[in-house]
């Protein structure tokens, strides 16, 4: 059993009696140098009015860097000893407690949380915690903040700098937002200041009250972003078709999509924007388009999109099992649909779009074999016709949708 104790910037004085007893009972105390420095040496004995522990203080071990590849060997070296691991604030909120539970299982980890930095920040600002979105940039690109931005929303950012956040807000059209930096929450050196007046310490939280700049347009999380939100060379699933396609793919939290023949990456990107836990792999054979997908993913707030450069079906081997597959191009390539169908998990959805007669014939054949749903979309847009306005038709798109459960 490993005990994980959350500790705040207020150090030993802010710990509960249970957390103090856990530290005092440990043979080994593990944490960052800063966290270890918050615990007195020698460790006071809570059962003896704060006098030094009779058995002596626990030995201290600094967490290795990089953490993940070195954590298991460290734990193995401490096997059989009473180990207490220090964590900042709530260990289960973007903390080492979650990592230890994942490695060892919940039955081998006991967690004693402290007040999280999010709760402290909301208390100082008077923000209801349940109405605040939290974005962690610890070990992640800050571009993940973009989907959380919306007029009037309140967002807390962990693990970034005020300068980086204000630059991103300006790029995204939210330069009018109010940005506050809260440093050393709970400590005697605590400060709450506007970003342009702050001198942030290593421990800080950045609070954003989102305000859209004049003339800027907010981007919703629902599918169907404007076509001009994407950098593209014409290979783009157009807005109306994209919205219908995503409705057929039906993304759920935590699910994984293969976007085969991704073009500009719009379907994969909007799949991931529906929920922070949604994942996607974009497969694209053209190097310049693959680079463009990466830029679009960063700009639209899903930097974790995995881009695989190569020709399907050859590059599909070894990819994680998908919950849904979208084939936006290449359906006529021999073996491509077979490979996608075989990879799909039971209950998964396959959606394929066609604009040519040849691709439509392939989808019609699969529809006869497996069933599903076959629809054709025809979109027309108003456009000038001389001094008047008329309808200009886009190429019709045939969409085939099938669920593996239904087909079986």
Q: What is the pLDDT of residues 138-168, one digit of tens each?
A: 889 999 999 999 999 999 999 999 999 999 9
Q: How much of the chain, in percent, has pLDDT values that exceed 90?
A: 90
- pLDDT band for 50, please (50, 70, 90 cuts): low
Gap between the Cα atoms of 293 and 112, Å rounded: 43
- For 171-201, the pLDDT digits (tens) are 999 999 999 999 999 999 999 999 999 887 8
Q: Is 52 a residue whose pLDDT tops 80?
A: no
Q: What would the mean pLDDT of 239-258 be, rounded to a whole number?
A: 97
The CATH number for 2-115, chosen from 1.20.950.20, 3.40.50.720, 3.50.50.60, 3.40.1010.10, is 3.40.1010.10
Q: Which own/partner contact pairs does 33-36 have at CB distance under 8 Å and 24+ positions apart?
A: 33/62, 34/202, 35/7, 35/86, 35/87, 35/88, 36/60, 36/62, 36/86
Asked if residues 331 and 399 have their Cβ atoms less than 8 Å apart, the reply is no
**Structure tokens, 408:** 């079986």
pLDDT band at 48 (very low <50, low <70, confident <90, very high): low
pLDDT per residue as tens digits for the range 379-408: 999 999 999 999 999 999 999 999 998 555
Domain assignments of the chain as residue spans, ordered by start: 2-115, 118-210, 227-404
pLDDT bracket for residue 46 (50, 70, 90): confident
What local confidence, expressed as pLDDT, does residue 153 receive?
Answer: 97
pLDDT in tens, 292-329: 999 999 999 999 999 999 999 999 999 999 999 999 98
Mean pLDDT of 91-106: 94
Q: What is the pLDDT of residue 47?
A: 74
Homologous superfamily (CATH) for 227-404: Vaccinia Virus protein VP39 (3.40.50.150)
The average confidence (pLDDT) of the chain is: 94
The terminus-to-terminus CA distance of the chain in angstroms comes to 46
DSSP string, 26-60: -SEEEE-HHHHHTS-SSPB-GGGTTPBPTT-PPEE
**What's residue 45's pLDDT?**
82
Predicted local distance difference test score (pLDDT) of residue 54: 55
* 377 neighbors 360 (Cβ within 8 angstroms): no
pTM for the whole structure: 0.90
Fold assignment, 118-210: 3.30.950
Q: Cα(313)–Cα(307) distance, rounded to whole angstroms?
A: 15
Return phi, psi of residue 371, to 5°.
80, -145
The predicted model gives 130-139 an average pLDDT of 94
Residue 112: pLDDT band (50, 70, 90) is very high
pLDDT confidence of 33, banded at 50, 70, 90?
Answer: very high
User: What's the pLDDT band for 57 if we cut at 50, 70, 90?
Assistant: confident
pLDDT reported for residue 62: 95
Average the pLDDT over 2-21 and give the result: 95
């Amino acid at each position: 059993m490993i005990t994980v104790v959350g500790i705040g910037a207020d150090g030993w004085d802010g710990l509960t009696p249970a957390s103090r007893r856990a530290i005092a009972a440990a043979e080994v105390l593990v944490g960052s140098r800063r966290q270890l420095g918050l615990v007195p040496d020698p460790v006071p004995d809570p059962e003896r009015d704060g006098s030094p522990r009779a058995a002596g203080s626990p030995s201290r071990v600094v967490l290795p860097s990089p953490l993940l590849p070195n954590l298991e060997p460290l734990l193995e070296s401490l096997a059989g000893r009473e180990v207490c691991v220090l964590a900042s604030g709530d260990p289960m909120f973007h903390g080492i407690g979650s990592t230890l539970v994942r490695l060892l299982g919940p039955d081998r980890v006991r967690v004693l949380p402290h007040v999280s930095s999010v709760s402290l920040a909301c208390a100082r600002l008077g923000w209801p915690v349940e109405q605040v979105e939290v974005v962690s940039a610890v070990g992640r690109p800050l571009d993940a903040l973009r989907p959380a931005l919306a007029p009037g929303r309140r967002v807390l950012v962990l693990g970034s700098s005020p300068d980086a956040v204000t630059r991103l807000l300006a790029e995204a059209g939210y330069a009018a937002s109010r940005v506050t930096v809260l440093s050393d929450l709970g400590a005697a050196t605590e400060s709450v200041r506007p970003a342009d007046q702050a001198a942030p310490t290593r421990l800080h939280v950045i609070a954003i009250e989102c305000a859209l700049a004049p003339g800027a347009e907010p981007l919703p999380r629902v599918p169907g972003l404007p076509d001009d939100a994407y950098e593209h060379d014409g290979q783009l699933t157009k807005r109306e078709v994209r919205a219908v396609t995503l409705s057929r793919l039906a993304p759920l939290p935590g699910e994984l999509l293969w976007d085969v023949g991704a073009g500009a990456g719009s379907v994969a990107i909007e799949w991931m924007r529906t929920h922070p836990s949604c994942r996607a792999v974009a497969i694209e054979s053209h190097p310049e388009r693959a680079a463009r997908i990466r830029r679009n993913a960063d700009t639209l707030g899903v930097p974790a999109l995995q881009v695989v450069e190569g020709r399907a079906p050859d590059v599909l081997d070894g990819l994680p099992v998908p919950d849904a597959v979208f084939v936006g191009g290449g359906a006529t390539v021999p073996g491509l649909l077979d490979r996608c169908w075989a990879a799909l998990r039971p209950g998964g959805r396959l959606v394929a779009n066609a604009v040519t007669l040849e691709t439509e014939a392939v989808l019609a054949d699969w529809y006869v074999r497996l069933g599903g749903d076959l629809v054709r979309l025809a979109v027309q847009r108003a456009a000038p016709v001389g001094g008047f306005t008329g309808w200009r038709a886009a190429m019709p798109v045939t969409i085939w949708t099938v669920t593996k459960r239904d087909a079986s």
